[in-house]
Structure 1
Amino acid sequence: IVASHDAHLHDAAGQLRPIDALTAAELRAIAAAGSAQLPTLDEVILRCRELRVGLYLELKDGAVIEPLLARLAAHQSAEFAIVGAFRPDWLADVRALAPHIVTSVLFSAPSVDAVALAAACGATYVHPCWERRGDRPDELLTPEWVQQVRAANLGVICWHEERPAVIAGLVRRGVDGICSDRPELLR
């Protein structure tokens, strides 16, 4: 299993290739050519353990659920991992196979009943993905919305964000986590 946020990558010729259609040899060749960094899940787990930071692992393919859980178990890393997905059925599978794993359900529409969605799959966190919902998507996290989520004993992990004003707004709203390519903005 390789770790990548995106489902596709550019090969050395600049062509966009689906990661799940590439062989291990092709992935190694692309990485060796320097056009993409593709650490294995094992490498990511070990590095996070070394740095003493948690893991937020978003499932992109239901076929990796069992291997992912096996790798977390092999590295005794379940206690500092959260497994997230847009697919509630995948999270239900995670919970059925490993009830001790913390899960997070991702969703895009503000109109979704986040509490009902989390309850349906046994998620511990809700993860609204509202980064493209205007200049200040943090304002969609109203006090009423946050109160409803908290009343259900759920945590809130937010979308991929790099705008300082939006990050500050999310922090003011008391979210538990913010995803970002710029961790220095989250300090």
Structure 2
Amino acid sequence: MGAPEPPPPGAPELSLPGAPEPRPRTVAALTGHTAAGVTDVAHRGASAYAPENTLAAFRLAKDKKADVFEFDVQESKDHKLVIMHDTTLTRTTNVEQVFPGRKSWKVSAFTLAEIKRLDAGSWFGKKFKGERVPTLDQVLSEMDGRGIGLLLEIKSPELYPGIEKRIAASLRGAPSWLRADPVERRLVVQSFDWGSVRRFHAELPKVPTGLIGTPKTADLPKLAAYADQINPPYADLTASYVKKVHAAKLDLQTWTIDDPAAMRKAIGLGVDGVISNRPDVLRRVLQESAARKAARKAAHKAA
């Protein structure tokens, strides 16, 4: 996802003529969906507490009770799938020290063997020294069986022609992430590049997909032909927009919210998921929301 933005379901559905047959709603089926009815998604892992897009951040996301963690996939020079948000390696690794004579620091300018030499943890804190840039295959293997879902973002696909096919191939090699039963789906693939999402959908049509951004509501019916989620920034959220997304039989996850008051507002607008650098804070807010809802229900029954 991009940089953090500034800080109810069940409403009547709007009539959207010409909509395709709806695909299954996905967020509620992800592992560990909260009692509050909202999925807790850890942005690049628990990235407020560990170096983003590393196995340390992904493990910590699980420890902090996230339902899902989001991460970004790009390609090395030799077409290996690596986990990195920026299109250059400078911000989150020591690439300039390890390869001082290189003219480019782009992810695509380095082979996987070279990327594996980089320290992806020290920039964040001394205790993470030696943390490496993981590959997609490592993430799929390491995080399997941990009871947490994946929100995989195809990052800058225009730089990596054919990346959708290679991601699909990696996923086919890890079939436990591709369970056919909708109740057990634990994986969603998303991108800012909606053409990339369409290409991925053609490869693995049963894998739920998300479109990052805020499409026009008039376009939602046709987008529902290959997407299951609309994932807008928090700044774009309105109650009306959330209702129209749901009317098109799509889920909505919003990003990136670290402030509890903003989390409560998003939950009140009826979102299906919240993406946060602080999944533990979001978990507490969701628990509080569920408790208030239960108390209101009990009071209503007693009245």
Q: TM class by shorter-chain length? A: 0.7 to 0.9
Report the aligned-residue RMSD.
2.4
* 8 A contact 2:257–2:274 mirrored in 1: yes
Of 227, 230, 233, the residue aligned with 1:129 is 233
| 2:105 counterpart residue number | 17
Deviates further, 44-53 or 6-15: 6-15
* 8 A contact 1:114–1:126 mirrored in 2: no
- 1:100 and 2:168 correspond: no
* 8 A contact 2:120–2:133 mirrored in 1: no
Larger radius of gyration between Structure 1 and Structure 2? 2
- 1:39 and 2:143 correspond: no
Q: Distance in 1 between matches of 2:118 and 2:172?
A: 29
Deviation for aligned residue 1:160: 2.0
- 1:2 and 2:82 correspond: yes
Q: Distance in 1 between matches of 2:135 and 2:217?
A: 32
Deviation for aligned residue 1:181: 2.0
| 1:133 counterpart residue number | none
Q: Any unmatched runs of 5+ in structure 2?
A: 1-80, 124-130, 179-184, 284-303
The 1:184/1:70 distance shift into structure 2, 3 A limit, reads same
* Identity rate, percent: 27
The 1:114/1:19 distance shift into structure 2, 3 A limit, reads farther
More strand by share: 1
Deviation for aligned residue 1:95: 1.4
Amino acid at match of 1:122: Y
Q: Distance in 2 between matches of 1:129 and 1:9?
A: 25
TM-score (norm 2): 0.53
* 8 A contact 1:45–1:75 mirrored in 2: yes
Q: Distance in 2 between matches of 1:39 and 1:148?
A: 38
Q: Distance in 2 between matches of 1:124 and 1:32?
A: 33
Q: Distance in 2 between matches of 1:56 and 1:92?
A: 16
Q: How does 1:1-187 map to 2 (within 5 A)?
A: 1-10=81-90, 11-12=93-94, 13=96, 17-31=105-119, 34=122, 37-60=132-155, 61=157, 62-76=161-175, 77-78=177-178, 79-107=185-213, 112-114=215-217, 116=219, 119-120=222-223, 122-130=226-234, 137=235, 140-187=236-283
Count, aligned residues: 176
Q: Distance in 2 between matches of 1:151 and 1:171?
A: 18
* 8 A contact 1:85–1:105 mirrored in 2: yes
Q: Distance in 2 between matches of 1:179 and 1:32?
A: 22
- What are the Cα deviations for residues 105-150 of structure 1, in whole angstroms up to 9, with x where unaligned? 011xx5x4056157336210001024xxxxxx3xx42221111111
Partner SS state of residue 160, structure 1: coil
Q: Distance in 2 between matches of 1:80 and 1:63?
A: 24
More helix by share: 1
Amino acid at match of 1:24: L
* 8 A contact 1:118–1:124 mirrored in 2: no
Partner SS state of residue 255, structure 2: strand
Q: Distance in 2 between matches of 1:114 and 1:46?
A: 38
Q: Distance in 2 between matches of 1:114 and 1:47?
A: 39
* 8 A contact 2:210–2:230 mirrored in 1: yes
Deviation for aligned residue 1:54: 0.7
Partner SS state of residue 185, structure 1: helix
Deviates further, 174-183 or 145-154: 174-183
The 1:33/1:122 distance shift into structure 2, 3 A limit, reads closer
| 1:134 counterpart residue number | none
The 1:49/1:156 distance shift into structure 2, 3 A limit, reads same
TM-score (norm 1): 0.82
Q: Distance in 1 between matches of 2:173 and 2:276?
A: 28
